[in-house]
Amino acid sequence: MSAVLDRAPGLENTGKLLPSLREIEDAARVVYREFQATPQYRWGLSSQRLGTDCWIKHENHTPVGAFKLRGGLTYFEALQRRGELPAQVVSATRGNHGQSIGWAARAHGVACTIVVPHGNSLEKNAAMRALGVTLIEHGEDFQESREFAMALAAERGAHMVPSFHADLLRGVSTYWWEFMLAVPQLDVVYVPIGQGSGACSAIAAKLALGRKLRIVGVVSAHATTYADSLAAGRVVEAPVTTQLADGMACRVADGAALDILLPQLDHIVKVTDDEVAQAMRDLYTDTHNVAEGAGAASFAAAMKERELLKGQVVGVTLCGGNVDRTVFAEVLAGPQA
């Protein structure tokens, strides 16, 4: 079910976090040193399935198969610009953030250790190691990995790279900026929420470009900290039981992200693992692109609300395609609606 959010008067606490249009444009120049703008297409079959024009932004086409790389590039560029590049960094991830930090750290000659929970995606783990990352498995979920990574960074005197930071938002905002420039007629976009950088960056691009489109947040029905926290107006911890949407498997929301999301999100949609699996199948059938669980969540949410979207131009993000082959094979073998 959708949950309409209470409106807050403004963004008094977020001015230092959200990038300006000029900062987004500057960030794009940093990103484009590594790869060019990703495509967005109006897919006929997806539009037919949704019952209205559906544009899909293909962040699965970055060199690490997910949008996170943009943020890692701008984060390390900012460290270098300030003369603060460390000898080593530590961070925690379920995979895509870790690939981003590993790629950027390698480009700057910085040693990188990434902590992941036990049972993390084997293929995401392998991709991080291929980037030169030292991988440590610790904890049963992302929050335990994050807390261990913070302690490890303090013990080593290493720089701890957070999952949510203004210098990450600058880079991630470039993909929403690309999308909104390429498809100015968008009425509404659906954005999955993990730690919040994707959704906050969509807000940043909207405000920077002066657009009127609605931004709908999407969370896993099995990881509801952001939905619960937005409803309560404060951080509310919630258990994580999703087996498919690991990119949204967050147990504790980020307070700074909440400050940005609360006054700007139109509403929140919760999607189940079954709905995400169906969206993964739909996207493969319609576009022959691979979507990981979080990467299919925005389309799942749009499909859930398709009766409300007639006549509107809808944007969704295939924000990552890094799903283990065995998992994807099992999902594809499931029933096609």
Examine the domain organization and report whether 77 and 62 are in the same domain: no
Which of 150, 94, 85, 90 lies closest to 120, judged by CA? 94
Q: Pick the last residue of a domain from 124, 142, 160.
A: 160
pLDDT of residue 10: 35
* 236-275 tens-digit pLDDT: 999 999 999 999 999 999 999 999 999 999 999 999 999 9
Name the pairing type of β-strands 267-271 and 2-4: antiparallel
Q: Of 119, 144, 160, which residue constitutes the final position of a domain?
A: 160
Residues 324 and 247 in one domain: yes
Each residue of 289-327: pLDDT tens digit?
999 999 999 999 999 999 999 999 999 999 999 999 999
Residue recorded with tokens 């006929």 = 44
DSSP result, 159-210: EEPPSS-HHHHHHHHHHHHHHHHH-TT--EEEEE-SSSHHHHHHHHHHHHHT
Query: Are residue 132 and residue 26 in the same domain, yes or no?
Result: no
Where does a domain end: 106, 135, 160?
Answer: 160
pLDDT at 6: 34
The answer to the question of residue 337 being in a domain is: no
For the cut 80, the answer to whether the pLDDT of residue 11 exceeds it is no
Same structural domain, 180 and 314: yes
% of the chain residues with pLDDT over 90: 91
In whole numbers, what is the pLDDT of the chain averaged over residues?
A: 93
Q: Say whether both 59 and 88 belong to one domain.
A: no
Per-residue model confidence as pLDDT tens digits over 180-226: 999 999 999 999 999 999 999 999 999 999 999 999 999 999 999 99
Residue-range definition of the domain harbouring residue 195: 2-67+166-332
Angle between helices 197-209 and 21-31 (to 10 degrees): 120
337 has a pLDDT exceeding 80 = no
The reported pLDDT for the residue numbered 91 is: 97
Give one word for 119, left, alpha or beta, with left for phi > 0 and alpha for psi -120 to 50.
Answer: left
Contact 312, 187 (CB under 8 A): yes
Q: What is the pLDDT of residue 254?
A: 92
Report the C-alpha gap between 25 and 20 in whole angstroms.
9
Instruction: Return the CATH number at 319.
Output: 3.40.50.1100
Sheet holding 111-116, edge to edge: 134-137, 111-116, 88-92, 159-160
User: Could you tell me if residue 41 is inside a domain?
Assistant: yes
Do residue 133 and residue 77 come from a single domain? yes
d(CA 135, CA 119): 13
Q: Is residue 156 part of a domain?
A: yes
Determine the Cα–Cα distance for residues 50 and 72; give it in Å rounded to an integer. 33
Beta bridge partners of 223: 240
Classify the phi-psi angles of 234: left when phi > 0, otherwise alpha if psi is within -120 to 50, otherwise beta: beta
Phi, psi of 127 (to 5 degrees): -65, -40
**In terms of domains, do 109 and 225 share one?**
no
Q: In which residue are the tokens 């995400």 written?
A: 276
- Using one digit for the tens of pLDDT, what is the confidence trace for 134-171? 999 999 998 999 999 999 999 999 999 999 999 999 99
pTM, two decimal places:
0.92
Q: Is residue 84 part of a domain?
A: yes
Within this chain, do residues 188 and 243 fall inside the same structural domain, yes or no?
A: yes
Residue 12 has pLDDT above 70, yes or no: no
Count of structural domains, the chain: 2
The pLDDT of residue 78 is above 90: yes
Say if residue 202 is in the same domain as residue 251.
yes
For residues 234 and 298, state if they share a domain.
yes
Within 10 angstroms of residue 68's Cβ, the number of other Cβ atoms is: 31
Does 211 reside within a domain? Answer: yes
Alpha helix stretches (DSSP H) within 10-61: 21-31, 44-50
Measured between alpha carbons, how far is 70 from 175 in angstroms, rounded to an integer? 8
Residues 176 and 299 in one domain: yes
| Domain-embedded: residue 98 | yes
Q: What was the pLDDT predicted at 17? A: 86
**CA 97 from centre of chain:** 9
Assess if residue 21 is contained within a domain: yes
* Within a domain: 96: yes
Do 100 and 139 lie in one domain? The reply is: yes
**Over 60: is that where the pLDDT of 2 sits?**
no
